Chains A and B, each alone.
Chain A
């Protein structure tokens, strides 16, 4: 042991505002000056565990519109918390500018420091840097927009009734996975602009209203022909968008609610795509930053023990046959991968040189930064999962094919299997593999106004039974008959079902 001059920031386990601030300064100094992390400014809020439950229930947002499903979430978390099934996860951080992070008042000093390093510098820099977040969300406007959404929904409840509003939200929530533009950058959110647009729309309707129009006989045959032909010309994957814009029956306020759910789904879209990376990145940095603090003698070894205890809990990966196995742990795999990249840069072995010639021996900080900015889970795994990690995690792939009445082990961690396992694991993080491919293919504008959705089956995988209920919601939103056509990958039709609005 080399004698390090120690000058710990604190020694006890109780925190005070002053101490938290000093830790934040110390951690921030290392993160920003030494490691050059690029972060939004931080807004750190101290809350009680009860408030943390609240925040959890509303998908982590500090404010949201009222809906029973959030109440359900709240009860679920509360029950689990009371039973001690899960200590409240340590942190919650919001992708906004400034970046809001919550610290729970019951945490010890070490925990607070851990959360600051993890959320305020780890997640924060990820939110600011990753391309998906940069493209798809507007961190500056989200809080304003949430306030707007909350007010608008409350107004609708007042004007049109809680029940009607709630059913509408139910229907929209069921489709929220299909309210996302994946290839087009959405316009930035702005609560003011939303309000202005609403007012304009209403004013326009009022000003154009003239009872006389009713009496004018219908005409224009020629023009209609232009409208014939298939509509939409291209299949549309954003169901909620299509409904908002084209549903024949929705009232303006209903369209607006569809829009709100769609916008929020869009906001959360990158989070689902980067869970592994985001958590891995934040875990990597809290580990690095706090170890650095220890090296500098700014924290005690008691602090480190407590930190390591929590850290190990977080990055535990259980095997498939162990109790409590719940799939790949994003913290574990993500952390391991970022660490592994650093190792490949710093001390590559022969295998690494073969697999990662372009990064082996490079500047680990640049490589990590590049990976954080330009990848999402799927491509990150596809690009950076090394054979060494596959061995460490003992990953294996099993195939479940309809024709067999057994599972077959497809590949394991051996020379023949590495690429295959990596490819399959990457695919597992692909949103398209998780969500059935359902798109709007036809809107009979001239006929019965029915809407056709097409489910293109991915490798013969059917929809679950729930789709029935979802389709009834679609019918409700559309107001006219809705068909769900199931086709196979080669385009051959499998089944059609029609749903009529109640």
Chain B
């Protein structure tokens, strides 16, 4: 009399909508939690999911319930020592004394509601509302690449595009039509016509049709420029690293392919690999211009702006001297900003240094909307700065 039904193949994610609703509702909480996690986590495993915790009382659904106070009796099991009339000190009201245990609907004995965000959700929240500047234009508007693709068949074309099978199919159909149906009718006006139906005719010919489809450029190159002179200590490099890593993460999400070029400079610029970029201490002065020139050279050699979205990220303590800051500004504006999608500069001031560095002062005068600059003093600043950078830019380009 029982019916058995195998439901295992049914939809498994019935609760997905509700889960989504929940996340929507507590977005603020989640965002805060994610922000905390990012602050404390090493950049290498930033892209993991994570456990987030929301205070129970924030998500509790209210109801009319009894509060503390008044008279009541409770029955419990497991008495070993008590006799009627014994007195037990009252546990603290907030403590989870045993008097509380029995109340219906008091919820979990946890102080926080903990649950796990998947990697995707984590990153989604992390990158939430960070719109890539001018991204829309690059991807959907600024068409730079053209790709040919099949688009059916045409009756005209060059011999090398002739599609033989298709053409013969046409010919077969034509011959069948001409010979088969209404044999009598065909024969009547033109006796013997059937014998003269050609095997292949010009109308049978079919050519492959190829059209050119504009393709959005889906590759980006990110230039990491960093001052590695003596004044850039480990702490500062660490900050810079986080900044680069975040930008990189962000780009990998938006582009299919992301190249990273590391350029370090003292008074002379070099292209290096990541390890050398972040490791190694160097001595020497600071000539920012050299790095910019090298970047320009690499772009010219390998990354044509028509095929690559170019992003620049520069980190420095801004400790430049003489004419260098002004020259750099000029070069940046004229040579690099014209080809870049976006260029960001972060200034990592030394502890007791005056509030503005020479480079900062110069860069501040750049007004192009796809240039941004920010000051970062501690690890906790990185994340908000990152958000602000893009928010500001998104606001301008919108």
Residues of A near any B CB (own CB < 8 A): 17, 20-21, 24, 28, 41-48, 50-51, 53-54, 57-58, 66-72, 74-76, 78-79, 82, 98, 105, 120, 162, 166, 170, 173-178, 317-322, 325-328, 393-402, 404-414, 416-417, 421, 424-425, 427-428, 434-436, 438, 455, 457-467, 469-470, 473
Contact = CB atoms under 8 A, between A and B. Distances in A.
- Pairs A-B, 9 closest by C-beta atoms: A319-B78, A461-B70, A71-B22, A71-B18, A464-B67, A396-B79, A320-B76, A466-B62, A68-B21
B140 interface: no
Contacts of B322: none
Contacts of B114: 79
A74 B15 contact: yes
B85 A408 contact: yes
A463 B65 contact: yes
Contacts, number: 270
A67 B175 CA distance: 65
Contacts of B61: 69, 170, 173-174
Instruction: Tell me the dominant secondary structure on chain A's binding face.
Output: mixed
B116 interface: yes
Interface stretch (B97-105, B157-165, B231-239, B378-386): B97-105
A82 B114 CA distance: 11
A4 to B, nearest CB: 27
B65 A436 contact: yes
B6 A46 contact: yes
Given A54-B15, A71-B23, A401 B64 contact: no
19 contacts: A28-B1, A46-B7, A74-B19, A78-B115, A174-B63, A176-B63, A394-B77, A394-B78, A398-B82, A399-B71, A407-B87, A408-B88, A416-B84, A424-B75, A435-B65, A461-B70, A464-B65, A465-B67, A467-B62
Contacts of A421: 75
A492 to B, nearest CB: 15
Given A396-B75, A458-B70, A463-B65, A58 B15 contact: yes
A44 B5 contact: yes
Contact of B1 (A42, A320, A400, A406): A42
Contacts of A458: 70
Interface of B: 1-8, 10, 12-15, 17-25, 59-80, 82-90, 98-99, 101-102, 104-105, 108, 113-116
Contacts of A72: 22, 59, 113
Contacts of A425: 75
A424 B73 contact: yes
Nearest to B78: A319
Nearest to B109: A326
B63 A177 contact: yes
A410 B25 contact: no
Given A173-B61, A462-B67, A66 B21 contact: yes
A389 to B, nearest CB: 10
Contact of A459 (B18, B70, B83): B70
A406 B87 contact: yes
Given A41-B2, A393-B77, A412-B82, A400 B71 contact: yes
